[in-house]
Structure 1
């Protein structure tokens, strides 16, 4: 404490407080980016699939099921093997799975919305499919989308931390909470603070995002009113 290193230092003499702050920036960036990908791709894909219906909906849902059944960890290992470890791979890998559940949720909401009178009125008025989806359906599912996105951020942070803990995520000089947890676990008996501080920040962050998500769900989800 007197030396100014409030969280102590690691085996290389690096300030742990600074490393935790930098690691949090990477973890939060990955979580928020994954949520944005889920919002954009999942909302457009799900609303289009639900609105078009019929064979198009069946084909789009089968494609979604194929992607969801893909061995994701095997895919990550292949990416790391061929392209090396970098932060871009984390975005690509997590982006591939973050939007799949969002698409299903939005599709379910769209199936109920497209039978509403204002959608039928737009169809009778000759409004194009793109306009109906973007101007009528998407705005009416945003409440559910925001709730799910807020709950998706902590799960994506945890997922990125898991990849980094296994050595498949961020590498030096970049760092994330998962990488710090991996380093701390290796020296837990000698320097337990290297594990405790990153773990504490990760747990508190996950709790806060889940708390916010529960609050948004109570406020925006009509089923919970």
Structure 2
């Protein structure tokens, strides 16, 4: 099966180098566009398996493109690697909070970028479309259809961010088992070491608040981590 990657980069020489590097891998096909609006159009026509998204784009910024993609059910789970010359912590956190899966700063190593692409594609959400069976959880208050990206509490839809959704999915898949903060970081954020374990606590707090009564099913196990209980 061909893995389709969309590179959104307005510097054509950089885009060309990325395309050349990634297409050395068997089964990889790269499409290039040079603006945010062109990216949204390309995704609407044919959803890629992964997007490499520059932040400094004409028309629509990479932040705005990411926000739009994450707001749409059909595209909210497409993995995104942000690519930018910005190096401040605020920029990294903003991109990751919007739902980006990884963040690479310019100048960068093409070999490292290719390795990050491979790592992101190995994550479960990158191959969700190929998974044969739907995963649906139904509890006293919570109903979660993870294939359809539909979360309800007492029949009312709940809107989650990408990170909150992935946290809930990870906890439910491993229900009644304690998951450490490091384990959750690895499963949800990947290997990005710029993220601190306290980020897990912040996202868990937000997730509990949105799930209302169902949030009580997420237990804190002091000194160990978190557990979703039935």
> One fold, TM greater than 0.5?
no
Higher Cα Rg, which structure: 1
* TM tier relative to shorter chain: under 0.3
TM-score, structure 1 normalization: 0.28
